Amino acid sequence: MFQGLNFPPLDLPPECTEIRAEIRAFLAEERKLGNAKNIEAMSRYTPEYSERLGKAGFIGLTWPKKYGGHERSALERYVVTEEMLSAGAPTGCHWIADRQSGPLILKFGTEEQRETILPKIAAGEAYFCIGMSEPNSGSDLASVQTKATKTDGGWLLNGTKLWTSGAHISHYMIALVRTSPLDEKDRHAGFSQMIIDMKSPGLEISPVINLSGDHHFNEEVFTDCFVPDEMVVGEVGNGWNQVMSELGYERSGPERFLSTFQLFAELVDAVGDDPSDHEAQVIGRLAAQLIVLRQMSLSVAGMLGQGLVPANEASIVKDLGTNYCKLVPDLSRSIMAAMPSQRSSISYEATLASAILTVPSLTIQGGSREILRGVIARGLGMR
């Protein structure tokens, strides 16, 4: 049966105005240091920026104070995130740890893991990467083959992970591995999650250069890599449920529609104060879609903050948001002719080139468009 969608309107509470002023003041200082205006800011790695952000109290915002957090609300975190991304600040180093590894450890980790790792994340000193995909396992994550075999005091890992964002700068990976053999009757059974120290013997990390010529993701080969028992996250065998809960943190945030915001800002500057009717129409269309997406995303954030699980609405925000990010370079080019080049000294041309080379990845990472639409159709009772 068809089930409806629900996007209740949300007005941000007064504490969000306060924290917006605080993060804007912080970002104004960072802008002076050149830490701004990045396309896809979550893939830009500047450790000093993350450390200063941590010291200023903007990482681990919602976590308990006893683990280095700041006990602020999910909506306050939303405001900090949207301000950082719309400024184009280089959030790559702490991004995954703050968004999903920390919350995962908080939810499923041991007390020792929480006490030792979370304060380092909140200080902007510990970075994480996600070890889910493999050479033959992407959309069909249940086909993951990296194997963990029990040994004295821990596990021996063998296998390969691929497309791992930021593995080369991370201190830890949370890997999804098989701890018991595949059972065709229940393909989701037998998985576990483990925290892997990226300096472990038996782990080899190689770069995979992306379309823009950047070193963003990597391949990791594990050969009898030892992981102590204390580094297992949650229950052995419960990895699938944990991973699904982790993916929930990935969808619907402002990153899903702000990846090309810098180009939109450059376009508005380049068009100037006296646009033609056509230019005004295009800018109006991009602005209107952005405003609607932000309202939808805020609505999802509000529901998550109330403990609800708006999985369909979150998936729709990701699908529409990433398509919007693709529309920005297309429409920009239609009104502002330019020779896109990452090496251009003209800011609009350089930003346009980065956007064109970045957008193809947006509808693949975090679950491809086809998979996401299947999830939405199932959630709506249509399949």
Tell whether residue 341 is a contact of ligand FAD (CB under 6 A): no
Nearer to ligand FAD, 165 or 332 (CB): 165
- Name the segment binding ligand FAD (CB under 6 A); options: 11-19, 68-76, 305-313, 367-375: 367-375
Q: Which two tokens stand for residue 188?
A: 């989701």
Tell whether residue 368 is a contact of ligand FAD (CB under 6 A): yes
Tell whether residue 244 is a contact of ligand FAD (CB under 6 A): no
The answer to whether the beta carbons of residues 130 and 96 sit under 8 Å apart is yes
For ligand FAD, which residue of 20, 47, 56, 138 counts as binding (CB under 6 A)?
Answer: 138
Among residues 105, 115, 125, 233, which one has the least CA distance to residue 169? 125
Nearer to ligand FAD, 8 or 360 (CB): 360
Q: What are phi and psi of 301, to 5 degrees?
A: -60, -40
Tell whether residue 230 is a contact of ligand FAD (CB under 6 A): no
For ligand FAD, which residue of 42, 106, 121, 130 counts as binding (CB under 6 A)?
Answer: 130
Residue number closest to ligand FAD, CB atom? 138
Q: Which two tokens stand for residue 325?
A: 């990010």
Rounded least distance, CB 84 to ligand FAD, Å: 19
Q: Which two tokens stand for residue 249?
A: 């943190």
136 CB burial (10 A radius; 0-12, 13-18, 19+) = exposed
- Name the segment binding ligand FAD (CB under 6 A); options: 182-190, 246-254, 310-318, 357-365: 357-365
Find all residues with CB under 8 Å of 205, minimum gap 6, and list them.
167, 168, 198, 218, 219, 220
Tell whether residue 42 is a contact of ligand FAD (CB under 6 A): no
Nearer to ligand FAD, 197 or 214 (CB): 214
- Distance, in Å, from the CA atom of 50 to the CA atom of 44, rounded to the nearest integer, reads 11
Handedness of CA 364, 132, 318, 71 (dihedral sign): negative
DSSP SS3 for 79: helix
Tell whether residue 164 is a contact of ligand FAD (CB under 6 A): yes
- Distance, in Å, from the CA atom of 319 to the CA atom of 231, rounded to the nearest integer, reads 34
Tell whether residue 370 is a contact of ligand FAD (CB under 6 A): yes
Rounded least distance, CB 292 to ligand FAD, Å: 25
Binding residues for ligand FAD, rule: CB under 6 A, are 129-133, 138-139, 163-165, 217, 361, 364-365, 367-368, 370-371
